[in-house]
Amino acid sequence: MSSNSPLPEPIRPVGNAGKRMGRVRSEVRRDQVICIAIAVILLAGIFLIQSPLRSRRAKLVINHNKSVGDLIMTFPRLTLGGFRGILAMVLWENAENDKNNHDWVPLETDYNAIAALEPYFGSAYIFNAWNQSYNLSAQFHDMNTKYKWVLDGLIYLYKGEKYVPDNANMIMNEANDFFLKLGTSFERRYYTARWRYDLAHLYRYQPGKVSSQLSTLAEVYYLVHRPEFHIKLLPPRSGRGPLGHGVEVNGVHYRYGLSVFYFAYQEYERALHTVPGPTDMGQQVLDSWPPMTLRCWCRDDLFYAQRVTNRIFNLDTETQMLRRFPARVENVDDCYRNVKVNAPRSIEEFKKYLVQYPYQKYVHTQHIVEVQYYEALGQAEHELFRGLVAWQNNNRRFRLGDAADQDLAKAVVLYDQAIAAYNHYLDVAYPNEPNGMPNPSRKDELKFLNALRARVDGIQSFRLTAQHNKPDLSFLAPVTLSFSD
């Protein structure tokens, strides 16, 4: 074809084909208009719901000044966006591998990174703190290391409260760490005594001068200064120590430490008064924690006072005893004061609980009569202690009718009352079988009844022999109450 040839004319649709093309064009234009209209409506809807969305977001995530100013928490939120969840899942897997491989330092780093990526999910803090306090602490044989891991778990929860405030489940787990781990776990004898010691020696803590790797004073200092505990450090009685000895709570002095159960009680009360409340257990169980905690506080102070008394008069040399004798006397006196105050409170709270949950009468009636025994035991043991202190202050000279003898005579009467209270507890908690056969579980509890009787026999022997011979104080060694829950 030559270059001068005319171009062919385009083929134009004719007839029905032309009509179909026109109909297609009109349908396309209609669909375009509909899509544009929907887009406009959706955009308008987005603008309309922004205000209620901001209001709801403010309730779920509180961006107070401290959290926004914390670069560690803010940077991932600003840069990673939706990828934070994926990265957090990778870190969860790494953390589990580190735990299984006993790589403890990387594990703590993983936990901190997870908290930085997802700072507003309380369940992350609860899970990781549980791992630290329960699983990781159990990996070590050294008691100090175990104790430090438990404290680290508690601190992890409290730091999480900065970003997830008023989370009742987190508060309940804090209370459980004090009650179940520090107070009633297998290692409880070390934990409860160590906690008292640390609390009484906070005056030795100087920020920047005491390494937290060598001492747990830094961790304890952080924990007890939480506002819900109402704690003030007492001023020093002498020039020794920059901060003083012991603490004050609501006007009451605890110069030589304070039971972990006080802290558990405060946290259980805080959890129960948080709205919405805890969701990880039933309400009847939740409401039983405060009276149970007061009950264990009485038991803890009684057990501790017995150990100190036995150490003073049986295990220490006379030189060791005299060096710290006044302080130890005050320490034991404080314990019996605490029992005198908390036993009636516990009984009263149990009674209020049973009004609300009468079907729990069988279980908690046992606890009421148990606390009544603690109350009677505290009076008897305190009177015995007074008699021994009077004897010591009189240069261990003794004669019938003097001040020490009068205290010991009163103690014998009070121990008889404690024996009656303990028998009543056995009848309620370990009743005999319906056919009259003895309850087999009761046999194990008789050792505490025998210890009470040994106290009475020992006091009577002391009164008869102390004037002429060196008295036998071995009757102080048997423990008169169970330290298990």
pLDDT of residue 67: 44
Q: How far apart are CA 154 and CA 179, in angstroms?
A: 12
Residue 54, amino acid: R
Residues 281-287: contacts with CB under 8 Å, at least 24 apart: 281/172, 284/357, 284/360, 286/172, 287/353, 287/356, 287/357
Contact indicator for 118, 84 with CB cutoff of 8 Å: yes
Q: Which residue has the tokens 């003030």?
A: 232
- CB within 8 Å of 386: residues ≥ 6 apart: 407
φ, ψ of residue 212 in degrees (nearest 5): -65, -20
pLDDT of residue 84: 65
Contact indicator for 404, 418 with CB cutoff of 8 Å: no
Q: At 367, is the secondary structure helix, strand, or coil? A: helix
State the alpha helices, DSSP H only, in 184-276. 188-200, 217-224, 260-272
Residue 53, amino acid: L
Q: Please give the model's pTM, rounded to 2 decimal places.
A: 0.80
- Could you read off the pLDDT tens digit of each residue along the chain, which spans 485 residues? 455 555 555 555 555 666 666 676 777 778 788 888 888 888 887 777 777 766 765 555 444 444 444 545 555 555 555 566 667 677 767 777 776 776 666 766 777 777 766 776 788 888 888 888 988 888 889 999 999 999 999 999 999 998 899 999 999 999 999 999 999 999 999 999 999 999 988 888 877 766 554 578 989 999 999 999 999 998 877 665 556 688 999 999 998 999 999 999 999 999 999 999 999 889 999 999 999 999 999 999 999 999 999 999 988 777 777 778 888 999 999 999 999 999 999 999 999 999 999 999 999 999 999 999 999 999 999 999 999 999 999 999 999 999 999 999 999 999 999 999 999 999 999 998 877 788 888 888 999 999 999 999 999 999 999 888 888 999 999 999 987 76
Contact indicator for 233, 202 with CB cutoff of 8 Å: yes
Question: What Cα–Cα distance (Å) separates residue 145 from each residue in 106, 152, 188?
Answer: 17, 10, 14
pLDDT of residue 40: 84
Contact indicator for 334, 255 with CB cutoff of 8 Å: yes
Contact indicator for 287, 356 with CB cutoff of 8 Å: yes
- CA 347 to chain CA centroid, Å, is 22
Task: Give, as one character, the DSSP assignment of residue 9.
Answer: P
SS (H, E, C) 115-154: HHHCCCCHHHHHHHHHHHHHHHHHHCCCHHHHHHHHHHHH
Contact indicator for 480, 451 with CB cutoff of 8 Å: yes
pLDDT of residue 187: 93
Q: Which residue has the tokens 């083929």?
A: 11
